[in-house]
Each structure stands twice: as structure tokens, then as C-alpha cells.
Amino acid sequence: MHNKTIAELAQGLADGEFSSVELTQHFLQRIDELDSQYNSFITVTHEQALAEAKAADEIRAAGNAGKLTGIPMAHKDIFCTNGVLTTCGSKMLSNFTAPYDATVISNFKKAGMVSLGKTNMDEFAMGSSNETSYYGPSKNPWDLNAVPGGSSGGSAAAVAARLAPAATGTDTGGSIRQPAAFCGITGLKPTYGRVSRWGMIAYASSLDQGGPMARTAEDCALLLNEMAGFDPKDSTSLKKAVPDYTADLSKPLNGLRIGLPKEYFGEGLSAEMGETIMAAVKEFEKLGATVQEISLPNTMLAIPAYYVIAPAEASSNLSRYDGVRFGHRCEEPVNLEDLYKRSRGEGFGKEVQRRILVGTYALSEGYYDAYYRKAQRIRRLIQQDFLNAFNEVDLIMGPTAPTPAFDLGSNTEDPVQMYMEDVYTLAVNLAGLPGISVPAGLINNRPVGLQILAGHFQEAQLLNAAHQFQSATSWHQLAPGAGQ
């Protein structure tokens, strides 16, 4: 059962091949047997999952089942989940049990889906490797010496190892797409505002966006149908009709215009990675698409701009965790100042502390104009680059990351090198665009991801292109050894 896609599992449930309880028990057993080597879960909700599965079977027996009723999935531990430990991968929230459901969680519950538990992640979503988690790093199922990517590394590893058919992730600068690429699965970052952020613990409020991670584009389309929509509780949620994202999956690609940014294929990209991506692009040409070179001239400014804007927003968002209102509290403080200092010093890890300090500095008097305001101007230039490009082409393609998954520990002492792993993904968040990563090959038995970008609210076009590519190739069907 674990090698079936969500679409196949849904059909199996509808045909009575197995029950939701049987399906859920199967995945819970796999988690119990295998996850000790991957560390992809922080919390596994055995009793709750089986109760939800039983309820789903009763709904199906009554003839009221929806498309996804009874399908199990996992959730990144950044989404508040009523009655379940919600840690954000941090000691700061290691004792926090959420008293309500995030809108995304609520939407999936309404759809009748079953929650297997909460997945591991970089602390407060700050990282590109899942190595900043208070609960230890997740490991890549393709190679246990490699990182699964971050910050949604636990979700990606769980799906790749077939411990869950799908998982939620969040993407602030590539945190769905990059781990999807490293673990050989499909990951979609929707347009900013397409999916509610309410109940999703904030890192950088103008950049964070939740999205689905699964085996195929078809599965991501099914999941996005439930995730997307206006939420009056979220001031950044956009009131825009939600289409059926599965409706145009089989639409031919004849006449599709694909742009390849010259900035994505220059210095920093290995010849082998470039050849792998170009081989994937040629598949689109076989499907009827045309390809042309384009330019995104401000691409390399995305990293410095992002690492001013995101830490500045993090500095503000994380100020609430002070040992008084929220989060870890130190023992026996001598005064209020000591309480603040030690609670935050003990509760936050090094990378989170680093970004808070950078953000506080950028927002401080005398530096706001020099750094933060200038970064926002660069953000606008980057957005304009994309708008200009989409006047010429329908989709933009390139590598999701400059390399396949790197080794655990190889970049932990060099934050700048770690930040460079997001060079092809950061600009997409700064511009608020949708993007998807799909499996496109292997280098030294480590997966390679092809990134596809579209204009605002063009998720259906992204999913159509990705689905047609997956109908013509088999990279998405490959599984690491334990997933067989």
C-alpha cells in the first residue's frame, strides 16, 4: 500500500480494497519500524490517527465520503494542531500543546484526512538542511549521510521513505521545493496568499507560505484543492476563487513557452547538474513546448535582500517568546532582565539567535534605511524581473538547487555557504510567485529536482506541466531502498 500514490489510495478506498483503518495501521507500523533511522517525525499520533481513520470509514460507509476521506498524511510541526505537541523544531516550544487547529489542519480534517503526526523541521523554519532542529537532524532516505533539505526536511524524508503518502510543508525561501528536490518527491509552493497562514507559526510573515509535498503533481493538485482558499482570520489571505487544480492536468503542452534564465545556468552550477536539467527540459520540447533563453538580471541580489528582510521579520515575530507570554522559561531568574536573557538564550538555537540579531540590527535606528529599505527596493526589482519575463514566456524552468543533497555536517560551520543553497528559490518568495519542484534525475544516486515557476495564481498551469512531464518520465516513481 505504501507504494501507491494518493490518487491510487483514494481509488483503493473507494473500491473497498482496504479500509482507512487498515491503511493507517500500515503507515503507523512503517513509522514505528523505520523512522528511527530517518528521524523524520517529532510526534506520532497513533491513537488519534486510528480514531480519525475509524471515523473516515464510517463516513464512507454512510455514502458521504469525499475524494480524500480516509487518506493518511503528516504535517510539518509548524502548524498548530489542537491537543498535539507543536514545537516548530525548537526547545522554545518543546512543551507547547496547541489549543486550536491551524486553518490548513482544519481544512484537511474537513476533507476527512487522517493525521499521522508532526514532522521534524529546522528550528522555526530557519535552515536549509534540517540540522538546526532541537530534535536532531532528519536524514535523507536516499543516503543516510546526506541531508534531506530544509526547513521541511522531515516532511520530505517521510514521503520519500514511504512513511506517509503526503505531508504539509512551508516555504519561506525554498523550504518546500529544496527538500522535495533533495528527497526525490514533488513539492509545491503556492502563490503568496493562496493558502491561509493562520495557525502557522510565523518566521517571516511576508514570505511564509504553506503547500503540499507528495509523490506526484496529481497528488499535490488533490491536496491543494483542500488547502487553498480565502480565510477571514488571515489578513494576508486573498479573496480569489479556487479552481479545481486537477481539471487541466491532462491538457497538452503544445505551444507552451518555456524560459530558461541564463543566470540559473552559469557559475555555481556543475556541468552534471546542468546536463541533467537540460535533459528534463528536452522532455518538454518533445511534448510540444518551445524553449528560449531569458534573463532575470537581479537574481544574485536575492540572497542579500532575503537575508535582510527575513531576519528583520523574524526579529519581530520571535520577540513574543520571552519566557513570560510564550515559550521556554528559565529556572529561578533573579530579575526580569535575567528571565528574558536566559529564557531566550536557552530556548533558541544558534541559527535562530543569529537571524534575530541580524534582523534587530537591520531594523535599528540609523540602519533601517541603509539595509531594510534598500532590501525592499531590491525586492521590487526582482519582482519586476519576473513580470517582464512572463510577458515573454508562460513558465520558467531551471534547477531547484545548485547541487544534489549535500552531506550532513558539511555546511554547518559556514552559514553563507548554507544560504547559497537557496540561490534559485529565494527570489520566488520575494516575488510571491508559485513554484514546484519535480524529480528529474539522479547524480551519484542522489535526486535532482527541476524547478518550474509561473505567474501569480497560475498553480493549475504549473501542475499541468509537471503532470505531463511525470506522465512521460519515471523519475517520480523511483524510491530509496527502504521505500520499496
Could you tell me whether strands 72-76 and 41-44 are parallel, antiparallel, or unpaired per DSSP bridges?
unpaired
Distance CA 469, CA 449 (A): 12
Cα–Cα–Cα angle for 366, 371, 373, rounded to 5 degrees: 95
Compute the 3-state secondary structure of the chain and give helix, strand, coil in percent, each to the nearest 5: 45, 15, 45
pLDDT in tens, 419-450: 788 899 999 999 999 999 999 999 999 999 99
Residue 432 to residues 209, 427, 455, 474, Cα–Cα distance (Å):
9, 9, 9, 30
- Region at 409 (left for phi over 0; alpha for psi -120 to 50; beta for the rest): left
- Dig out the grid coordinates for 438 from the structure: 519535480
Q: Which helix H or strand E contains 261, and what residues bound it?
A: strand 257-261
Spatial neighbors of 233 by CB under 8 A, at least 6 apart, are 103, 196, 198
Burial class (CB in 10 A: 0-12, 13-18, 19+), 382: buried
Q: Using alpha carbons, select from 208, 205, 197 the residue that is nearest to residue 231.
A: 197
Burial class (CB in 10 A: 0-12, 13-18, 19+), 34: middle
Three-state secondary-structure class, residue 343: helix
Q: What spatial distance separates the first Cα and last Cα of the chain, rounded to whole Å?
A: 11
Reported as half-sphere exposure (CB side, CA atoms, 13 A), residue 39 has a value of 17
Task: Find the farthest-apart pair of alpha carbons in the chain and give their distance in angstroms, rounded.
Answer: 70
In this prediction, residue 325 carries a pLDDT of 84
Query: What is the residue-wise DSSP string for 127-175?
Result: -SSSTT-TT----BTTBTTB---SSSHHHHHHHHTTS-SEEEEE-SSST
Q: What does pTM read for this prediction?
A: 0.96
The residues annotated with a catalytic role in the active site are 76, 151, 175
Distance CA 117, CA 96 (A): 15
- Dig out the grid coordinates for 134 from the structure: 532541537
Q: Domains of the chain (ranges plus CATH)?
A: 6-255 (3.90.1300.10)
Please say whether the beta carbons of 155 and 411 come within 8 A.
no
Query: What is the residue-wise DSSP string for 204-233?
Result: -TTT--EEEEESSHHHHHHHHHHHBS--TT
Please say whether the beta carbons of 399 and 422 come within 8 A.
no
Q: How does pLDDT run along the chain (484 residues), one tens digit per residue?
A: 999 999 999 999 999 999 999 999 999 999 999 999 999 999 999 999 999 999 999 999 999 999 999 999 999 999 999 999 999 999 999 999 999 999 999 999 999 999 999 999 999 999 999 999 999 999 999 999 999 999 999 999 999 999 999 999 999 999 999 999 999 999 999 999 999 999 999 999 999 999 999 999 999 999 999 999 999 999 999 999 999 999 999 999 999 999 999 999 988 898 999 999 999 999 999 999 999 999 999 999 999 999 999 999 999 999 999 999 889 999 999 999 999 999 999 999 999 999 999 999 999 888 888 899 999 999 999 999 999 999 999 999 999 999 999 999 988 777 777 878 889 999 999 999 999 999 999 999 999 999 999 999 999 999 999 999 999 999 999 999 744 4
Could you tell me whether strands 290-294 and 257-261 are parallel, antiparallel, or unpaired per DSSP bridges?
parallel
Spatial neighbors of 342 by CB under 8 A, at least 6 apart, are 323, 330, 333
